[in-house]
Amino acid sequence: MKISKVIIPVAGWGTRSLPATKNLPKEILPVFKKPCIQYIVEETIDSGIENVVFVTNKNKTIIEDHFDYNLSLEWVLERSGKMELLKEVRKVAELVNIITVRQKRQMGLGHAVLCAKEVIKDEPFAVIVGDDLLFSSVPGIKQLIDIAQAENMAVIGVMPVEKNKVSNYGIISAEEIGPHLYRVRDLQEKPSVEEAASNLAVVGRYILTPQIFYYLEKIFDPSMNQELELTEGLRMLAKENKLLAVRLQGMRFDIGNWVDYLIANIYFAIQDEELRDDIIKRIRELIPCS
Ligand code: G1P
Protein backbone atom coordinates (compact mmCIF):
# COMPACT_ATOMS: atom_id res chain seq x y z
CA MET A 1 0.00 0.00 0.00
CA LYS A 2 1.64 3.26 -1.13
CA ILE A 3 0.32 6.52 0.27
CA SER A 4 1.32 9.37 -2.02
CA LYS A 5 -1.39 11.96 -1.28
CA VAL A 6 -2.82 13.62 1.79
CA ILE A 7 -6.09 15.52 1.88
CA ILE A 8 -6.02 18.51 4.24
CA PRO A 9 -9.45 20.12 4.54
CA VAL A 10 -8.99 23.86 5.16
CA ALA A 11 -12.32 25.36 4.11
CA GLY A 12 -13.84 25.68 7.61
CA TRP A 13 -14.84 29.03 9.13
CA GLY A 14 -12.63 28.77 12.21
CA THR A 15 -15.37 30.16 14.45
CA ARG A 16 -13.65 28.81 17.58
CA SER A 17 -10.72 31.12 16.92
CA LEU A 18 -12.69 34.33 16.32
CA PRO A 19 -12.08 37.24 16.30
CA ALA A 20 -8.49 36.35 15.24
CA THR A 21 -9.87 34.47 12.23
CA LYS A 22 -12.31 37.11 10.99
CA ASN A 23 -10.18 37.68 7.89
CA LEU A 24 -7.35 35.21 8.46
CA PRO A 25 -7.62 31.45 7.95
CA LYS A 26 -7.16 29.63 11.26
CA GLU A 27 -4.56 27.42 9.55
CA ILE A 28 -2.34 30.51 9.11
CA LEU A 29 -2.35 31.44 12.80
CA PRO A 30 1.30 31.22 13.83
CA VAL A 31 2.50 28.67 16.35
CA PHE A 32 5.80 30.21 17.41
CA LYS A 33 7.55 31.06 14.12
CA LYS A 34 5.46 29.12 11.61
CA PRO A 35 1.80 29.04 10.56
CA CYS A 36 0.21 25.95 12.05
CA ILE A 37 -0.55 24.47 8.62
CA GLN A 38 3.22 24.26 8.01
CA TYR A 39 3.59 21.81 10.91
CA ILE A 40 0.90 19.62 9.32
CA VAL A 41 2.59 19.73 5.91
CA GLU A 42 5.97 18.95 7.53
CA GLU A 43 4.38 15.95 9.26
CA THR A 44 3.28 14.60 5.87
CA ILE A 45 6.73 15.15 4.33
CA ASP A 46 8.43 13.45 7.27
CA SER A 47 6.04 10.55 6.64
CA GLY A 48 7.07 10.23 2.97
CA ILE A 49 3.99 11.88 1.40
CA GLU A 50 4.78 14.42 -1.31
CA ASN A 51 1.41 15.52 -2.65
CA VAL A 52 -0.84 17.72 -0.55
CA VAL A 53 -4.45 18.23 -1.60
CA PHE A 54 -5.92 21.29 0.12
CA VAL A 55 -9.69 21.29 0.11
CA THR A 56 -10.16 25.00 0.23
CA ASN A 57 -12.48 27.93 -0.51
CA LYS A 58 -12.10 31.32 -2.11
CA ASN A 59 -11.05 33.04 1.12
CA LYS A 60 -8.13 30.71 1.78
CA THR A 61 -5.72 31.32 -1.11
CA ILE A 62 -3.17 32.67 1.40
CA ILE A 63 -2.60 29.02 2.46
CA GLU A 64 -1.48 27.99 -1.04
CA ASP A 65 0.59 31.16 -1.28
CA HIS A 66 2.51 30.19 1.85
CA PHE A 67 3.77 27.08 0.04
CA ASP A 68 4.74 29.02 -3.09
CA TYR A 69 7.77 31.20 -3.86
CA ASN A 70 7.59 34.90 -2.93
CA LEU A 71 10.06 36.26 -5.45
CA SER A 72 9.96 39.92 -4.38
CA LEU A 73 10.59 39.01 -0.74
CA GLU A 74 13.39 36.64 -1.77
CA TRP A 75 14.97 39.41 -3.80
CA VAL A 76 14.87 41.80 -0.83
CA LEU A 77 16.40 39.17 1.49
CA GLU A 78 19.11 38.31 -1.04
CA ARG A 79 20.04 41.97 -1.58
CA SER A 80 20.32 42.58 2.14
CA GLY A 81 22.42 39.45 2.67
CA LYS A 82 19.87 37.72 4.93
CA MET A 83 20.78 34.32 3.55
CA GLU A 84 19.50 32.20 6.45
CA LEU A 85 16.05 33.78 6.24
CA LEU A 86 16.13 33.45 2.46
CA LYS A 87 16.80 29.73 2.80
CA GLU A 88 13.98 29.41 5.29
CA VAL A 89 11.30 31.13 3.17
CA ARG A 90 12.39 29.32 0.01
CA LYS A 91 12.37 25.93 1.73
CA VAL A 92 8.62 26.13 2.27
CA ALA A 93 8.00 26.40 -1.46
CA GLU A 94 10.17 23.39 -2.10
CA LEU A 95 8.51 21.15 0.48
CA VAL A 96 5.67 19.61 -1.49
CA ASN A 97 3.45 19.58 -4.56
CA ILE A 98 0.28 21.48 -3.77
CA ILE A 99 -3.01 20.58 -5.42
CA THR A 100 -6.11 22.56 -4.52
CA VAL A 101 -9.71 21.54 -4.78
CA ARG A 102 -12.59 23.90 -4.04
CA GLN A 103 -15.25 23.02 -1.51
CA LYS A 104 -17.91 25.36 -2.82
CA ARG A 105 -20.24 24.86 0.12
CA GLN A 106 -19.08 23.91 3.63
CA MET A 107 -21.01 20.72 4.16
CA GLY A 108 -18.88 18.82 6.65
CA LEU A 109 -15.67 16.80 6.80
CA GLY A 110 -17.12 13.90 4.77
CA HIS A 111 -18.10 16.33 2.04
CA ALA A 112 -14.61 17.91 2.06
CA VAL A 113 -13.03 14.47 1.56
CA LEU A 114 -15.52 13.68 -1.21
CA CYS A 115 -14.55 16.92 -3.01
CA ALA A 116 -11.04 15.43 -3.52
CA LYS A 117 -12.29 12.19 -5.08
CA GLU A 118 -11.24 13.05 -8.67
CA VAL A 119 -7.72 13.92 -7.53
CA ILE A 120 -7.25 10.83 -5.39
CA LYS A 121 -8.60 8.42 -7.99
CA ASP A 122 -8.12 4.78 -7.06
CA GLU A 123 -5.39 4.88 -4.39
CA PRO A 124 -5.35 4.71 -0.61
CA PHE A 125 -4.72 8.15 0.85
CA ALA A 126 -4.23 10.08 4.07
CA VAL A 127 -6.43 12.77 5.64
CA ILE A 128 -5.22 15.22 8.28
CA VAL A 129 -7.48 17.78 9.89
CA GLY A 130 -5.71 21.16 9.67
CA ASP A 131 -6.12 22.24 13.29
CA ASP A 132 -4.85 19.16 15.12
CA LEU A 133 -1.10 19.36 15.71
CA LEU A 134 0.70 16.23 16.86
CA PHE A 135 4.38 15.97 17.75
CA SER A 136 6.29 12.77 18.33
CA SER A 137 9.47 11.02 17.23
CA VAL A 138 7.49 9.01 14.65
CA PRO A 139 5.17 11.52 12.91
CA GLY A 140 1.47 10.93 13.65
CA ILE A 141 0.38 10.03 10.13
CA LYS A 142 3.43 7.73 9.73
CA GLN A 143 2.26 5.76 12.79
CA LEU A 144 -0.96 5.07 10.85
CA ILE A 145 0.76 4.37 7.53
CA ASP A 146 2.90 1.66 9.15
CA ILE A 147 -0.20 -0.18 10.42
CA ALA A 148 -2.22 0.37 7.22
CA GLN A 149 0.62 -1.15 5.20
CA ALA A 150 1.11 -4.09 7.56
CA GLU A 151 -2.63 -4.88 7.79
CA ASN A 152 -3.67 -3.64 4.33
CA MET A 153 -6.62 -1.83 5.82
CA ALA A 154 -8.01 1.64 6.58
CA VAL A 155 -6.73 3.02 9.90
CA ILE A 156 -7.74 6.00 12.02
CA GLY A 157 -5.78 7.71 14.80
CA VAL A 158 -7.30 7.91 18.27
CA MET A 159 -6.23 9.27 21.65
CA PRO A 160 -7.91 9.10 25.04
CA VAL A 161 -9.62 12.34 26.08
CA GLU A 162 -11.15 13.43 29.36
CA LYS A 163 -14.67 12.05 29.72
CA ASN A 164 -16.21 15.54 29.67
CA LYS A 165 -14.57 16.28 26.27
CA VAL A 166 -16.04 13.34 24.33
CA SER A 167 -18.78 15.54 22.86
CA ASN A 168 -16.15 17.43 20.82
CA TYR A 169 -15.01 14.35 18.91
CA GLY A 170 -15.77 11.23 16.94
CA ILE A 171 -15.66 8.40 19.50
CA ILE A 172 -14.93 4.76 18.70
CA SER A 173 -16.29 1.60 20.17
CA ALA A 174 -13.62 -1.01 19.57
CA GLU A 175 -11.94 -4.17 20.65
CA GLU A 176 -8.21 -4.13 21.52
CA ILE A 177 -6.34 -6.54 19.24
CA GLY A 178 -2.74 -5.57 19.95
CA PRO A 179 -0.58 -2.95 21.67
CA HIS A 180 -2.21 0.41 20.86
CA LEU A 181 -4.24 -1.31 18.14
CA TYR A 182 -8.04 -1.71 17.93
CA ARG A 183 -10.61 -3.21 15.59
CA VAL A 184 -13.31 -0.55 15.27
CA ARG A 185 -16.84 -1.88 15.72
CA ASP A 186 -18.67 1.43 15.51
CA LEU A 187 -18.26 5.20 15.84
CA GLN A 188 -20.33 8.02 17.29
CA GLU A 189 -19.98 11.62 16.14
CA LYS A 190 -19.82 13.97 19.14
CA PRO A 191 -21.85 11.86 21.59
CA SER A 192 -22.95 13.13 24.98
CA VAL A 193 -20.92 11.98 28.02
CA GLU A 194 -23.71 9.53 28.90
CA GLU A 195 -23.93 8.02 25.42
CA ALA A 196 -20.21 7.74 24.63
CA ALA A 197 -19.05 4.15 24.16
CA SER A 198 -15.47 5.02 25.24
CA ASN A 199 -13.13 7.96 25.71
CA LEU A 200 -11.06 7.09 22.63
CA ALA A 201 -11.41 10.10 20.34
CA VAL A 202 -10.60 10.38 16.64
CA VAL A 203 -7.87 13.01 16.43
CA GLY A 204 -7.87 14.17 12.84
CA ARG A 205 -5.63 11.54 11.23
CA TYR A 206 -6.88 8.89 8.82
CA ILE A 207 -5.52 6.44 6.24
CA LEU A 208 -8.43 5.56 3.99
CA THR A 209 -9.12 3.40 0.98
CA PRO A 210 -11.08 4.77 -2.03
CA GLN A 211 -14.01 2.63 -0.89
CA ILE A 212 -14.88 5.49 1.49
CA PHE A 213 -15.93 7.61 -1.52
CA TYR A 214 -18.48 4.99 -2.48
CA TYR A 215 -19.98 5.03 1.03
CA LEU A 216 -19.95 8.82 1.32
CA GLU A 217 -21.68 9.18 -2.06
CA LYS A 218 -24.25 6.63 -1.03
CA ILE A 219 -25.29 8.61 2.04
CA PHE A 220 -24.84 12.13 0.66
CA ASP A 221 -27.96 13.97 -0.38
CA PRO A 222 -27.06 17.58 -1.33
CA SER A 223 -30.71 18.61 -1.30
CA MET A 224 -30.94 17.78 2.42
CA ASN A 225 -28.68 20.76 3.14
CA GLN A 226 -27.06 19.06 6.10
CA GLU A 227 -23.44 18.20 6.89
CA LEU A 228 -21.94 14.98 5.58
CA GLU A 229 -19.87 13.59 8.45
CA LEU A 230 -16.80 11.51 7.61
CA THR A 231 -17.78 9.47 10.66
CA GLU A 232 -20.84 8.15 8.79
CA GLY A 233 -18.64 6.73 6.02
CA LEU A 234 -16.22 5.30 8.60
CA ARG A 235 -19.11 3.55 10.36
CA MET A 236 -19.86 1.69 7.14
CA LEU A 237 -16.23 0.53 6.87
CA ALA A 238 -16.37 -0.55 10.53
CA LYS A 239 -19.56 -2.56 9.97
CA GLU A 240 -17.69 -4.54 7.32
CA ASN A 241 -14.73 -5.13 9.67
CA LYS A 242 -12.53 -2.98 7.46
CA LEU A 243 -11.41 -0.35 9.94
CA LEU A 244 -8.63 -0.33 12.52
CA ALA A 245 -7.68 2.35 15.03
CA VAL A 246 -4.22 3.12 16.38
CA ARG A 247 -3.70 4.88 19.67
CA LEU A 248 -1.34 7.64 18.58
CA GLN A 249 1.78 8.44 20.57
CA GLY A 250 2.86 12.03 20.99
CA MET A 251 1.86 15.44 22.19
CA ARG A 252 -1.31 16.87 20.66
CA PHE A 253 -2.52 20.46 20.46
CA ASP A 254 -5.95 21.44 19.17
CA ILE A 255 -5.22 24.89 17.85
CA GLY A 256 -8.93 25.81 17.83
CA ASN A 257 -8.73 25.67 21.63
CA TRP A 258 -7.07 28.79 23.06
CA VAL A 259 -5.33 26.97 25.93
CA ASP A 260 -3.85 24.36 23.57
CA TYR A 261 -2.93 27.08 21.08
CA LEU A 262 -1.04 29.16 23.61
CA ILE A 263 0.69 26.16 25.18
CA ALA A 264 1.77 24.99 21.70
CA ASN A 265 3.45 28.38 21.22
CA ILE A 266 5.27 28.09 24.54
CA TYR A 267 6.21 24.45 23.82
CA PHE A 268 8.06 25.52 20.66
CA ALA A 269 9.42 28.75 22.03
CA ILE A 270 11.16 27.09 24.98
CA GLN A 271 12.91 24.73 22.59
CA ASP A 272 14.71 27.74 21.16
CA GLU A 273 17.93 27.87 23.19
CA GLU A 274 18.31 31.63 22.73
CA LEU A 275 14.82 32.44 23.99
CA ARG A 276 14.18 29.71 26.53
CA ASP A 277 15.53 31.32 29.72
CA ASP A 278 13.98 34.67 28.95
CA ILE A 279 10.57 33.16 28.25
CA ILE A 280 10.57 31.13 31.45
CA LYS A 281 11.65 34.20 33.43
CA ARG A 282 8.85 36.33 31.91
CA ILE A 283 6.22 33.65 32.57
CA ARG A 284 7.37 33.45 36.19
CA GLU A 285 7.01 37.22 36.46
CA LEU A 286 3.48 36.98 35.12
CA ILE A 287 2.50 34.41 37.71
CA PRO A 288 4.57 35.49 40.71
CA CYS A 289 3.27 33.02 43.27
CA SER A 290 3.64 29.91 41.09
C1 G1P B 1 -13.92 16.36 13.06
C2 G1P B 1 -14.53 14.97 13.03
C3 G1P B 1 -14.46 14.31 14.41
C4 G1P B 1 -13.01 14.29 14.88
C5 G1P B 1 -12.43 15.73 14.85
C6 G1P B 1 -10.94 15.70 15.18
O7 G1P B 1 -14.72 17.19 13.89
O8 G1P B 1 -15.88 15.07 12.59
O9 G1P B 1 -14.94 12.99 14.30
O10 G1P B 1 -12.94 13.75 16.17
O11 G1P B 1 -12.58 16.32 13.56
O12 G1P B 1 -10.40 16.98 15.22
P13 G1P B 1 -14.60 18.81 13.87
O14 G1P B 1 -13.53 19.14 14.85
O15 G1P B 1 -14.27 19.21 12.47
O16 G1P B 1 -15.95 19.29 14.31
Distance in Å, CA 283 to ligand 1 centroid: 32
Whether 226 shows a pLDDT value over 90: the answer reads no
> Which one of 17, 103, 127, 129 would you pick to mutate in the ligand 1 pocket, going by the greatest count of ligand atoms within 8 A of its CB?
129
Whether 95 shows a pLDDT value over 90: the answer reads no
Whether 14 shows a pLDDT value over 90: the answer reads no
Q: What is the pLDDT of residue 278?
A: 95
Whether 223 shows a pLDDT value over 90: the answer reads no
CATH code for position 247: 3.90.550.10
Residue 273 lies in a domain: no
Distance in Å, CA 286 to ligand 1 centroid: 34
Residue 262 lies in a domain: no
Distance in Å, CA 68 to ligand 1 centroid: 28
Confidence band, pLDDT 50/70/90 cuts, at residue 79: very high
Residue 87 lies in a domain: yes
Whether 222 shows a pLDDT value over 80: the answer reads no
Confidence band, pLDDT 50/70/90 cuts, at residue 143: very high
Domain of 185?
Answer: 5-256
Residue 73 lies in a domain: yes
Q: What is the pLDDT of residue 290?
A: 59
Residue 288 lies in a domain: no
- Whole-number mean pLDDT of the chain? 94
pTM across the whole model: 0.93
Phi-psi region of 99 (alpha: psi -120 to 50; beta: other; left: phi over 0): beta
Ligand 1 binding pocket (C-beta < 6 A) is 109, 129, 132, 169-170, 189, 201-204, 229-231
Residues above pLDDT 90, as percent of the chain? 87
Q: What is the pLDDT of residue 224?
A: 76
Residue 235 lies in a domain: yes
Distance in Å, CA 205 to ligand 1 centroid: 10
Number of domains in the chain: 1
Residue 286 lies in a domain: no
Residue 185 lies in a domain: yes
Confidence band, pLDDT 50/70/90 cuts, at residue 195: very high
> Which one of 15, 127, 168, 203 would you pick to mutate in the ligand 1 pocket, going by the greatest count of ligand atoms within 8 A of its CB?
168
